[in-house]
Structure 1
Amino acid sequence: MQRTKGPWLGLILFIVLLVAGGRVLWLWLDRPIDRVSIRGEFEHVSADYLREQLAPLIEGQSWLSLDLGELRQRVRDIGWLAEVRVSRQWPDALTLELFEQEPVARWRDDALLNPRGEPFAYGSVSPPEGLADLAGPLGSGAEVLTYYDRLQRRFAALGIEIRQLRLEPRGAWRLQLDGGVWVMLGRSVHDARLARLEAAWRRQLGGEASQIRYIDLRYPNGVAVAWHGETVPVEP
């Protein structure tokens, strides 16, 4: 029995030394992060904004122990970032490739929409001017943005733009034209109602838009126009 202890003892010592060596190597490699490189093209956010937002996420982290997946998700939660790629650079650096959100509309007064209709917070960064103001129930951003694009193309033939578009909780739509006129579209038969509006706009309403408060299309025939202090039906 004594003869068998030698090989086993040697194996155990080898494993202990291997583990100890691996631990020493890990500690040597797992040094504090010293440099962070940021790559990307940014139109709306500044380098100072990004540094301010990123610093608390990386402070106190070490090079090997850092969970890149968790860091990527936390960085994505920063406003204005659509996508994030994170990689380690030997011996103590990180590289972050950041892709900025593209704002195409305001959303519910406190957010912006990207081209996919996904809302994102804009924080302390001022949104660009001239964006349409859209709103709807939670989760309806893509639907509202798609309908806004359709209406924009349709109203372009009349030489007007849509300033605001609202989808109400019960499914009714209303919109504001660039001259300030509100249009009550309702919940159904939108194409027929819009066709009546287009005909009335070309015939009469377009030349008197500055005097109109709102146009109500929720009638079987014709439209109702609210002028300054009175409502007058307009025949189709």
Structure 2
Amino acid sequence: MNLNAQLATASKRRVSRSRKGATRAGQKSNVKATGLLWLKRSVLLIALSVVSFSLITAVDKLQSVPVDEVVLTGYTGGHTGVGASKDELLALVDKQLDKGFWQLDLLQLKANLESHPWVRQAVIRRQWPNQLVIGIDEYVAVARWNERYLLSATGDVFMPSKIAAFTHLPRLKVESLRIDKQERPSRETIKQAVSGFNQFQKPLTHYGLSVVEQTQLLDGDFLLLLSNGLTLMLGADQVTHRFDRFLALLDGELIDKLDDIEAIDLRYMNGLSVRWRDAIELAQVEVTSSLLR
């Protein structure tokens, strides 16, 4: 073998040894990198576990926080049977308080409060750290409906525990064939009755009169009891026209005799019937005045 061949062979051997050394060094480096990566992951998992445990503990503590104070606003106090009292409302709230501040079912609590006859709406919110704020919107009674209900300013009927305190309010009565006399009337029925009442009430105030009771019978006939004790029979047809005829009479000499009249039947085409307070029989009056035509 010549010199050049020997040099080439020696060079190849050196390269081979160098590659083997580099491979061993690379393997050692990979092992170190893998170990470091697992160490980092282990530390991260431990840290996450600690944080998760801390969060769970904190949540458990928050869920067990009791309600420290209940703030009620908007109620009238329930004096003389009107409105809701604080004790009545708190009794409805207490059913839920054992669940804690954050575990409270606000929808159920709202339903409990709105089951009170005088509560139209309850608005509830949590206030940090442990206060419950409740706003109460009560019904405002403007009239009596039939025998047991009250009518609110918003057109809702509701049944209070005591209705005797509201005899000063006008009564709207609508006779019904329903067997269940406690069944609530439809919104349309209420709307029609209130519309009729307002139509009658407004012009009567000019004469110092008001409607004490408005009754709609099964056959549709309207009866009005006025504040002076006078009963008007308006029938079921042309009710507005017949009522206008009565107002026209008030503008005449009838106004001076009104206190002597017990009832006026306006269901006649060209006349009316008058029942005098001191008379036993009805006196039928034929009216020819142009005011009544």
| TM-score, normalising length: structure 2 | 0.66
Quote the Cα distance in structure 2 between the aligned partners of 1:221 and 1:180: 25
| Higher helix proportion (structure 1 or 2) | 2
**Structure-2 change in CA distance of 1:154 and 1:17 (3 Å):** same
Quote the Cα distance in structure 2 between the aligned partners of 1:21 and 1:98: 39
Which segments of structure 1 move beyond 6 Å, counting only runs of 4 or more?
none
Unaligned stretches of 5+ residues in structure 1: 1-5
Match of 1:51 among 82, 87, 106: 87
**Structure-2 change in CA distance of 1:200 and 1:87 (3 Å):** same
Quote the Cα distance in structure 2 between the aligned partners of 1:33 and 1:157: 56
Quote the Cα distance in structure 1 between the aligned partners of 2:83 and 2:194: 30
> How far did residue 180 of structure 1 move?
1.2
2:134 alignment partner in structure 1: 96
Quote the Cα distance in structure 2 between the aligned partners of 1:48 and 1:193: 43
Whether the 8 Å contact between 2:215 and 2:223 is mirrored in structure 1 is: yes
2:114 aligned with 1:76: yes
Bigger Cα Rg: 2
Match of 1:195 among 244, 253, 258: 244
Quote the Cα distance in structure 1 between the aligned partners of 2:99 and 2:266: 60
2:61 alignment partner in structure 1: 28
SS state of the match for residue 104, structure 1? strand
**Structure-2 change in CA distance of 1:135 and 1:21 (3 Å):** farther
Quote the Cα distance in structure 2 between the aligned partners of 1:223 and 1:37: 61
- Superposed CA deviations along residues 94-125 of structure 1, whole A, max 9, x for unmatched, are 11011222221112222211123211223248
1:186 alignment partner in structure 2: 235
Amino acid at match of 2:280: G
- Superposed CA deviations along residues 131-169 of structure 1, whole A, max 9, x for unmatched, are 111122522223212221221112123331111112234
Per chain length, whose mean CA-contact separation is higher, i.e. which structure has more relative contact order (CA < 8 Å, sep 6+)?
Answer: 1
Quote the Cα distance in structure 1 between the aligned partners of 2:50 and 2:217: 69
Amino acid at match of 1:33: V
Match of 1:38 among 57, 65, 72: 72
Give the total of aligned pairs: 231
Unaligned stretches of 5+ residues in structure 2: 1-38, 177-184, 288-293
Amino acid at match of 2:60: L
> How far did residue 189 of structure 1 move?
0.6
2:190 aligned with 1:156: no
> How far did residue 23 of structure 1 move?
4.8
> How far did residue 48 of structure 1 move?
7.8
Match of 1:144 among 189, 193, 201: 193
Identical pairs, percent: 25
> How far did residue 22 of structure 1 move?
5.2
1:233 alignment partner in structure 2: 284
1:3 alignment partner in structure 2: none
| TM-score, normalising length: structure 1 | 0.80
Q: Tell me which moved more, 171-180 or 23-32.
A: 23-32
